[in-house]
Structure formats: structure tokens, C-alpha cells
Chain A
Amino acid sequence: MRSAWIVILAAALAACSSTPDDEQAPAGVEERQPGADARPGAQTQPVTPGGVARVDIGAGAAGAAALKDPNNILSKRSIFYEFDKFDVRDEYKALIEAHARYLRDNPRAKMLIQGNTDERGSREYNVALGQRRSEGVRRMLVLLGAKDDQIEAVSLGEEKPRAQGQDESAWSQNRRSDMLYSGEY
């Protein structure tokens, strides 16, 4: 099992560093933002908080409950990283395997993975770094049996820090990927 994990880790990292395949058809501009409507004549442009796309969870009732059960590993959603790193450490192996299994067993379940960084450096570069983190998790989940179209990997860069401090204890909380299911974001 340990060697299988290493193979998956290696495959996911290799995938990260190879030219991405083009088999994902261009997604087109998704229509999922209520705030994007034109509002002629408005001097200021308010944004409605929220704006969550309606998605059918479709998971079995028992499965969905497991996501919230604090005694179930599926209730754990965060993966933390070392400075400037995006590789998933061994300690998160069981967590990623559990979520991959859940996604495989609940093919209509959808997941959003949000990658985050600490506050140091360029905001835009940090968006790209956070994306590399979330994308790494996405690729592992797919290698472990989740379907491509079940998961979207995105980045919040340094913009949504969980911890507010300006030291390593805060930064280590903020270098993170979060796995969220429909209705949780």
C-alpha cells in the first residue's frame, strides 16, 4: 500500500510538471455569477455576497452524513504545506484516499479544492502557487478513482487567510488546500 501511494504521488507530481494535456475541452465562460448582470445607470456596483452555483449533490444520504461526522475521516478537509512547497506529505495519504473513495462511490458528488498560500510575495504569483497546490490534490484524487468532472481545483492565493498573524505559526495555517463539497462553499 505504501508503495502504491508513492507511485500515485510520483504520478501526480509528474503530471504537474509535464505539459498539461488538452483533452479538457475549452470550458467556455460558465454562467454562474449573479453579480455579473449589467446594471445600467448604477454609479456603484454592489456585489451580492454568496453567489453559489446550484449543483445537485445527489450523494446517498448515508454518504453525505459521513462528510459531517467528526469521527469520520471525511470530515477532515485541509492539507497543509511547507514553505514554497506543493507536494502532499505522507500524513495526508489516508485523508486523500478516503475522499477519492467517497467521490468514486458517489459519482454525482462534486468537490471544489481551494489552494491557499501565505501572504509573502506577489498576490498574482500566489494565486498561481495556490493553484499548483489544489491541482496537485485534484490529480491525486483522479488517480485514485475520482472522475475529472467531479472536481474543480481553484486558488484563493493569499487573499483568504485562515490565520491573521504575520509569523510562521499563522503562515503555516494559511499554506493549505481545502476540499469542499457542493453546498459548503
Chain B
Amino acid sequence: MRFLAVLFAVLAFCAPAQAQLSIEITAPGVQRIPIAIVPFAGEGALAPGITPIVRADLERSGLFRTLEVPPLSPAPTEASQVNYAEWRSRLADAVVLGSVAARPDGRFEVRFKLFDTVKGVDLSGVAFTLSRQQIRTTAHRIADFVYEKLTGEKGVFSTRIAYVVKRGPKFELQIADADGAGEETALASFEPIISPTWSPDGRRLAYVSFENKKPVVYVHSLVDGKRQVAANFKGSNSAPAWAPDGSKLAVALSRDGGSQLYLINPDGSNVRRLTQSSGIDTEPVFSPDGQSIYFTSDRGGSPQIYRMPAGGGEAQRVTFEGSYNVSPRISANGKSLAYVSRNGGKFQVSVLDLATRQVQVLTDSDKDESPSFAPNGRMILLATVIGGRGVLSAVSADGRIKQRLSMSAGDVREPAWGPFIQ
């Protein structure tokens, strides 16, 4: 048995690179900012280069249109004099210029600057020192800088996502960059894994594993692979959700009969019961201020989303349209609720504006599950089924931008978008 475990660890470690998620934009935004990202002088030394990754990030966001730039001679750098009128004539509203230089210690220095050609102003830039292993990380940080300067909201190109891949009898909990690249397997099992959810600091995942022939909640440290049982009571243990300060988990436990909500510490101590209903209570999620918990309950006869104080107490119904509204998730600003609703037999991600009570169905697929907001609230990642296979897709919170993330082999499901990197 020990041998099998070791063999499995080795196999998991050698997972082939072609399993990577690839992202395809299926509906771009309407008004995209035209931007010229000029190849950085000297970036040939850092294959595959920095600017192709920056360009792909910005394109994928659906908010930018990157312009083809013919080779310029001499190659401009961040220190070059910028002819704003010339860039305007090339229809660029913004320009990124930069350079790469080798350092004596074998590392590299990347400098770049962003220019607003419409206003004719220098929007500043950053210098990074990096090793060859940090090309992608650096490019994502440059894309985040450009995105924030031009849209006013934080970029999520440096964040990570978690998801579960099923290949044959095997389940893998994987972590990848937000663009689907650089995936790593955190957990491999022959039993299902569901409901991964990121700790607020992005260092741990809580999830449900069926490796003991029943659902058990684990907390898994990503850096060292250490796992801890958070909830393994009699009955089923599932639906973990982190409190915003990371000190507690809300979980659904059936140790007292049906599925009810409890608070526990991440090490499994200090169990407190939160709900006392006669029906099903599950899928808790904290509001960003930590004051409320949204959850799914069938206490009114059909599964609907409710809200209650985070310490327990009277719950108020939040969703009213339709007879099946489940899997609530709250945007980081606390203003939008994404969830899955059943509309004439189709399961679709909807978003509810909590102030206006306006509901919008965001997708045209029919087997949506597990919505997850990007930390800036712009996009919602979700699992759906296309052509009989599980795929991830992303839709902007206004429904305009759509992306599909697919994998060459296997079913992908249970996505969870991680927090901003500290």
C-alpha cells in the first residue's frame, strides 16, 4: 500500500504538460481599450518573452484590444521619447514600452512604462529583478499594473485558481495560474474531491474528500502538502467556507441528523451549531465583512438562498424567483450574489444585485455549477458541461464577456478563484 502511494506520488508529479487548461474567448467585451504593447528591447534573452504573456492577459480580460506593432528601429525602451501623436495615428490609446537587461548575478532586470497617448501623459512603470523561473509571474504583474492604471480596478492576472480534474477513475485537485498555465497537482485520489475553497491568505485550501467512503472536510497547506482533518464527525461533513479573517470555517454537518450549519476552527476544534432547521441547510458562504452567512436551505419547501447573522440567528430569504436557487457566492464588495438557478430544466448561473434586487441570468449553458467570483468581482468562474464533458467557463458579472477554459483530456469541475496575492 505504501509502495502504491509512492508510485502514485511520482506519477502525479510527472503529469504531462499538455494537460494544461487553454482559454478561449467566446464573447469579447464591446468597448475595448486599444493598446500597443511594444516588444521589450532585449526580451529575446528571456524566452518565451514577457510581452506575449502581457498581451494575452490583457486580451483575455475582454477589456483590451492589443494592436499589432511592426518592428521599430531602434527598438524603443521605457526611457525613449514618446511621440504621442504618432501612437494616436496608429489608433493606440495607450502604449507600453520596456527593456530587459542581464545582470551580473545571472538574473535579469525588466523595466517598463505605460503611456496614455490620448492625454499625452506618462503613467509610470515598475522595475523587476527576476530569474528565468519568474518570467510568467513578472508578466502577470506587468499586466496587473496596466489593467489597474487604465480601468481603475485591480487586475487578477497574478491570482491562481483551483479546480478538480477527473480522468478515468482518478481525481486530481489542481492549482493553476488564472490563465490556466503552470498547473500543479495538490492532491490525487481514487475517490471524489469536491468544494475546494481558498483560505483568505491563499495558502491553504479547504475541501471535501471521499477517500474514507464518506465526505470529510480537510484543510490542506499548499506549500508543504500537509493535510489536516477539519471535520470528520459521524455522518456527512461538507461545504466548507472560510471566514474572511481565516480563523473559522462554516461547514455543513449531519452529525445531529440532517444537514445543518456549524462553525469550527480550521483544526477541527470549537464546534458550534449555527442553524436549527428541520430541513436541509448547506453551502454556507461568509459575506466579505464577516457579519453574515449566506446559505442554501429548503426550509421553505424548495431550495432557496437565505442570509443570517454569522453567529447564527434568524434567517431571511434572499432569492424568490424560481423553485431551485443554490450555491450562493458573494462578490468582494458584498454587492452581488452569484448563484445557480434552475430555469425550465436548465441550471444556469445568475447574479442578483442585492441593492436593487435585479436578477440577471448570465449564461446560456444548461448544467452550470460552482460559480466563483474573481477577487476584483469582474469575472465569475464556473463549471459547466459541453459536449458531454466538464469544462470551466468564465463570464463577466455583467454577462458581456465570456471565456471557455478547456482541457485536452478529462472532466474539469469545482473551480474556485483564489484571492489577490499578498
Contact = CB atoms under 8 A, between A and B. Distances in A.
Contacts, number: 207
B67 to A, nearest CB: 41
A50 B326 CA distance: 32
Residue among A15, A17, A36 with the most chain B CB within 10 A?
A36
A33 B229 contact: yes
Contact of B231 (A24, A29, A39, A48): A29
B298 to A, nearest CB: 8
Given A20-B256, A32-B212, A121-B347, A47 B191 contact: yes
Interface stretch (B20-28, B232-240, B307-315): B232-240
Given A125-B296, A159-B210, A44 B225 contact: yes
B137 interface: no
A74 B279 CA distance: 31
A114 interface: yes
A17 B279 CA distance: 7
A122 B283 contact: yes
B235 A152 contact: yes
Interface residues of B, number: 73
Interface stretch (B91-99, B107-115, B182-190, B400-408): B182-190
A42 B225 contact: yes
B212 A33 contact: yes
Interface in B177-218: 184-192, 194-195, 208-216, 218
A37 to B, nearest CB: 8
Given A36-B227, A49-B191, A122 B326 contact: yes
A176 interface: no
A36 B228 contact: yes
Given A24-B255, A132-B259, A154-B236, 15 more contacts: A16-B258, A20-B258, A24-B256, A36-B229, A43-B13, A44-B187, A45-B9, A48-B211, A51-B212, A124-B195, A124-B296, A125-B303, A127-B252, A154-B213, A154-B215
B215 A45 contact: no
Interface residues of A, number: 59
B258 A157 contact: no
A121 B239 contact: no
B1 A50 contact: yes
B5 A48 contact: yes
B224 A40 contact: yes
Contact of A135 (B218, B220, B254): B254
Contacts of B376: none
A17 B422 CA distance: 46
